[in-house]
């Protein structure tokens, strides 16, 4: 190593600046490249697909003729499956995260559970499909239904929500808990009135990530036997006879957008490939709408906190 | 969050009542992705005609996956792009499930090359075997190794993956043994990938379903096959497949129907519609396959009416059999 003399200081600073600049340049280039590729893909999808999206496309059943084929059962199926997924994964995920972070005693059992949850987040989705096929479809005889699809996707994204909930709770300063206890709040009051509202933005971010992953999943649904051709809708959740609400749709066979896309993209006719792109655009819009809703709730939650 | 948590509870409470829901009479179909476009077309018309009364669902689990479900009694009809296999017959027999085997259409397999390929227009089964047999692996890598008149250029191969019924049939027809093929070719379950592969490589040769060639005629060149019986060069076309001249690369596609399901009006009506020659001939053509001769549909209907179960293919895929022979052939359970 050469000895550094005082005279070298400006050169050293210039060198450090150059390295900084170089790194910033590389970072910018990578960022630009990644965004450009993403934009190009989305642009290509939208340009191919968008002209095909109209009322008929959304209101028609699939057909052998590309000109009259639509995605009605697919988008209804996707919506209903996501509803079940959210209804199961969100409460269970938050409850599990809360328990692990605030209630669970530190023991080897808790450690084991923690390690398992972290690992489960990385298990390939097809494994969940096989599990659901074995447990829900064969053992419990629940059939290849919307309920089972929602359950398997809920299992799939549960670890994501649990981890996000725990991270959000952990980032709340201990003083908040102490302050609540000092005011005479019991544990549940502390959790429900102070911790959960403070953790809500973090939890919602986790939910966004989780549901966005679930909506694009195909592998576990194909494994449990999601169908490709369905030209009828599940029974309506609202009926005209008391009790006016029906859960019969939970037991209906279904298809979802990614499966419909996959089927169309593997057809020989180019017209179906364009329909697949159109279905892709609809799927993107649904994801955006779902995330938009969550972001809006998060925004309101943050404002309330101030 | 608190309000939402009542929902899964309701779901759990409702779960035991599942069986109580009366679902409309549903025809459950699953199986081959090759047969799917035809079944989808029939299902579409069936659903339009019987909306509200009957329902039909069609899945794509592949021929093998379809038979698995069929032999468990999960579905009423299995779509199959090859005859039922020995192991599948055993599985069905164990569960006491029988089947009526009904050919519904023909699929020609097209052998294709790049349009820039000007040296091959007609080939023989022997040449195809020399290219595709397992012994050719790592050895036959240039065109002139097959025929010295062909140029000294690299030969690159494209074909469907091993799970495909197309693969099973091609190997049976060309190599002579079902599933026997060299392994060093580009395999994909998505035929559009194969189309792209051949279209972009001047030294390529591939095979896949006729419909994929027809839709991509501007990017591909088909190779005629010399009929082993007559010695004439026959190009793949609907007409040549239908008249039986395009041999041995046209294969029958099947429905396997569970005779017990036929007691349900939805299934009986659906199969009846599927085998209506005036109706299905047009549909099959529309989706890019080759309809059977009218007589074949009539024979199939007779077989259905008599509920004659079993398969005519106890020995695996048969090559070059006429459809009428197929239906009339003795069947084994």
Partner-chain contact A268 B212, CB within 8 Å: yes
- Looking at residue A253, its pLDDT comes to 84
Sequence-separated (6 or more) residues with CB below 8 Å from residue A35: none
Chain A environment of B211 (Cβ under 8 Å): 268
Put simply, the chain B residues between 26 and 65 with a CB less than 8 A from any chain A CB are: 26, 30, 33, 36-37, 39-41, 43-44, 47-48, 51, 55-61
- The alpha carbon of residue B218 and the mean position of all alpha carbons in its chain are separated, in whole angstroms, by 25
B11 closest CB neighbour out of A227, A248, A250: A250
8 Å CB contact between B127 and B146: yes
The radius of gyration computed from the CA coordinates of chain A, to the nearest angstrom, equals 25
Decide if A250 touches B, using CB distance below 8 A. yes
Chain A environment of B61 (Cβ under 8 Å): 225
Residue whose pair of structure tokens reads 């939910």 in the numeric block: A207
Question: Can you list the residues of chain B whose pLDDT is less than 70?
Answer: 1-23, 315-333
- CATH classification (class only), B108-250: alpha beta
Chain A environment of B192 (Cβ under 8 Å): 265-266, 268, 273
Chain B environment of A146 (Cβ under 8 Å): none
Partner-chain contact B192 A266, CB within 8 Å: yes
Listed residue (B229, B192, B211) closest to B289, CA to CA: B211
Cα A183 to Cα A102, A197, B175: the distances in Å are 18, 18, 84
The Cα–Cα gap between B65 and B79 comes to 10
Residue A121: φ, ψ to 5°: -60, -20
- Looking at residue B259, its pLDDT comes to 93
For domain A54-305, say whether CATH 1.10.3720.10 is its number.
Answer: yes
Substitution target from B4, B22, B50, B60 for chain A, most A beta carbons within 10 A = B60
On the question of a common fold for B24-106+253-328 and B108-250, the answer reads yes
pLDDT one digit per residue (tens) for chain A, 306 residues: 556 566 678 888 888 999 999 999 999 999 999 999 999 999 999 999 988 888 888 888 888 888 888 899 899 999 999 999 999 999 999 999 999 988 888 889 988 998 998 888 888 888 988 988 888 888 888 878 889 999 999 999 999 999 999 999 999 998 989 999 999 989 999 998 889 988 988 899 899 889 988 988 888 888 887 777 887 888 777 766 667 677 778 888 888 899 899 888 888 888 899 999 999 999 999 999 988 888 888 888 777 765
Name the token pair of A24: 């910033």
Residue whose pair of structure tokens reads 């995330």 in the numeric block: A291
Chain B environment of A227 (Cβ under 8 Å): 30, 57-59
- Please list, residue by residue across B168-183, b when 16 or more beta carbons sit within 10 angstroms of its beta carbon and e when fewer do: bbbbbbbbeebeebbe
Partner-chain contact A225 B61, CB within 8 Å: yes
Residue whose pair of structure tokens reads 């599948």 in the numeric block: B88
B183-194 pLDDT, tens per residue? Answer: 999 998 888 899
- Looking at residue B286, its pLDDT comes to 87
Listed residue (B54, B106, B89, B96) closest to B256, CA to CA: B89
8 Å CB contact between B159 and B167: yes
Number of Cβ within 10 Å of residue B281's Cβ equals: 18
Largest CA distance in chain A: 91
8 Å CB contact between B198 and B234: no
The Cα–Cα gap between B247 and B292 comes to 15
Chain B environment of A263 (Cβ under 8 Å): 36, 60
8 Å CB contact between B300 and B306: no
- Beta-bridge mates of residue B110: B208
- Looking at residue A38, its pLDDT comes to 94
A268 closest CB neighbour out of B26, B58, B191: B191
The Cα–Cα gap between B35 and B31 comes to 8
Residue whose pair of structure tokens reads 């109580």 in the numeric block: B20
- Looking at residue A222, its pLDDT comes to 82
* Region for residue A192 given its phi and psi (left: phi exceeds 0; alpha: psi -120 to 50; beta: otherwise): alpha
DSSP reduced 3-state for A86: helix
Domain ranges of chain B: 24-106+253-328, 108-250
Partner-chain contact A229 B58, CB within 8 Å: yes
Closest residue in chain B to residue A88, using alpha carbons only: B8
How big is the CA angle at A46 (ends A41 and A50), to the nearest 5 degrees? 165
Put simply, the chain B residues between 151 and 190 with a CB less than 8 A from any chain A CB are: 190
With 0.90 as the threshold, say if the pTM is over it.
no
- Give pairs for B3-9: CB < 8 Å, separation 24+: B4/A86, B4/A87, B4/A90, B4/A91, B5/A91, B5/A95, B7/A87, B7/A91, B8/A87, B8/A88, B8/A91, B8/A92
What number is the ipTM of this complex? 0.74
Residue whose pair of structure tokens reads 């497949």 in the numeric block: B241
DSSP reduced 3-state for B293: coil
Decide if A43 touches B, using CB distance below 8 A. no
From the CA of A72, how many Å to the nearest CA of chain B? 14
B41 closest CB neighbour out of A64, A95, A253: A64
A64 closest CB neighbour out of B18, B40, B55: B40
The Cα–Cα gap between A196 and A190 comes to 9
Put simply, the chain A residues between 81 and 100 with a CB less than 8 A from any chain B CB are: 84, 86-88, 90-92, 94-95
For domain B24-106+253-328, say whether CATH 3.30.930.10 is its number.
Answer: no
Partner-chain contact B192 A232, CB within 8 Å: no
């Amino acid at each position: 190593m050469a000895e550094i003399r005082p005279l070298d200081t400006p050169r050293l600073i210039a060198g450090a600046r150059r390295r900084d600049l170089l790194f910033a340049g590389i970072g910018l280039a990578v960022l630009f490249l990644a965004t450009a590729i993403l934009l190009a893909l989305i642009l290509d999808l939208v340009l191919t697909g968008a002209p095909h999206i109209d009322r008929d496309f959304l209101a028609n059943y699939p057909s052998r003729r590309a000109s009259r084929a639509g995605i009605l059962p697919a988008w209804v199926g996707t919506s209903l499956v996501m509803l079940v997924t959210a209804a199961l994964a969100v409460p269970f995920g938050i409850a599990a995260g809360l328990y692990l972070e605030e209630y669970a005693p530190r023991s080897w059992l808790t450690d084991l559970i923690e390690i398992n949850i972290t690992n489960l987040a990385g298990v390939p989705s097809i494994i969940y499909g096989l599990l659901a096929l074995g447990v829900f479809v064969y053992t419990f005889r629940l059939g290849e239904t919307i309920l089972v699809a929602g359950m398997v996707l809920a299992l799939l994204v549960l670890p994501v929500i649990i981890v996000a909930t725990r991270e959000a709770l952990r980032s709340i300063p201990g003083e908040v808990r102490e302050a609540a206890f000092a005011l005479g709040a019991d544990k549940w009051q502390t959790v429900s009135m102070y911790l959960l509202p403070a953790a809500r933005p973090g939890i919602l971010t986790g939910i966004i990530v989780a549901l966005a992953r679930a909506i694009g999943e195909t592998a576990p649904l194909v494994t449990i036997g999601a169908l490709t051709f369905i030209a009828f809708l599940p029974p309506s959740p609202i009926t005209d006879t008391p009790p006016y609400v029906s859960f019969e749709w939970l037991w209906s066979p279904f298809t979802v957008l990614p499966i419909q896309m996959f089927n169309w993209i593997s057809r020989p006719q180019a017209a179906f490939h364009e329909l697949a792109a159109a279905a892709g655009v609809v799927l993107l819009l649904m994801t955006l709408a779902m995330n938009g809703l969550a972001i809006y709730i998060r925004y309101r939650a943050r404002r309330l906190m101030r | 969050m608190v309000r939402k948590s009542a929902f899964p509870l309701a779901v759990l409470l409702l779960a035991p009542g599942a069986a109580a829901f009366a679902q409309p009479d549903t025809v459950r179909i699953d199986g081959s992705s090759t047969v799917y476009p035809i079944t989808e077309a029939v299902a579409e018309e069936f659903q339009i005609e019987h909306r509200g009364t009957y329902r039909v669902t069609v899945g794509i689990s592949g021929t093998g996956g379809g038979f698995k479900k069929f032999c468990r009694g999960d579905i009423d009809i299995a779509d199959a792009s090859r005859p039922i296999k020995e192991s599948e017959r055993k599985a069905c027999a164990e569960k006491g499930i029988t089947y009526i085997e009904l050919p519904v259409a023909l699929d020609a397999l097209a052998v294709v090359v790049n349009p820039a390929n000007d040296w091959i227009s007609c080939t023989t089964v022997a040449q195809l075997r020399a290219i595709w047999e397992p012994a050719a692996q790592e050895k036959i890598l240039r065109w002139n190794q097959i025929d010295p008149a062909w140029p000294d250029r690299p030969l690159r191969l494209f074909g469907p993956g091993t799970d495909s019924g197309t693969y099973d049939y091609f190997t049976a027809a060309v190599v002579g043994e079902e599933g026997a093929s060299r392994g060093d070719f580009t395999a994909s379950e998505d035929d559009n990938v194969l189309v792209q592969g051949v279209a972009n490589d001047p030294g390529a040769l591939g095979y896949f379903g006729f419909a994929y060639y027809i839709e991509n005629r501007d990017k591909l060149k088909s190779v005629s096959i010399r009929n082993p019986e007559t010695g004439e060069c026959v190009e793949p076309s609907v007409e040549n497949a239908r008249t039986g001249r395009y041999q041995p690369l046209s294969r029958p596609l099947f429905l396997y129907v569970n005779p017990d399901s036929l007691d349900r009006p939805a299934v009986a009506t659906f199969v009846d519609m599927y085998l209506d020659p005036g109706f299905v001939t047009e549909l099959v053509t529309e989706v890019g396959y080759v309809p059977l001769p009218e007589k074949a549909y009539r024979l199939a209907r007779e077989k259905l009416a008599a509920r004659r179960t079993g398969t005519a293919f106890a020995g695996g895929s048969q090559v070059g059999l006429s459809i009428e022979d197929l239906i009339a052939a003795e069947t084994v359970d």
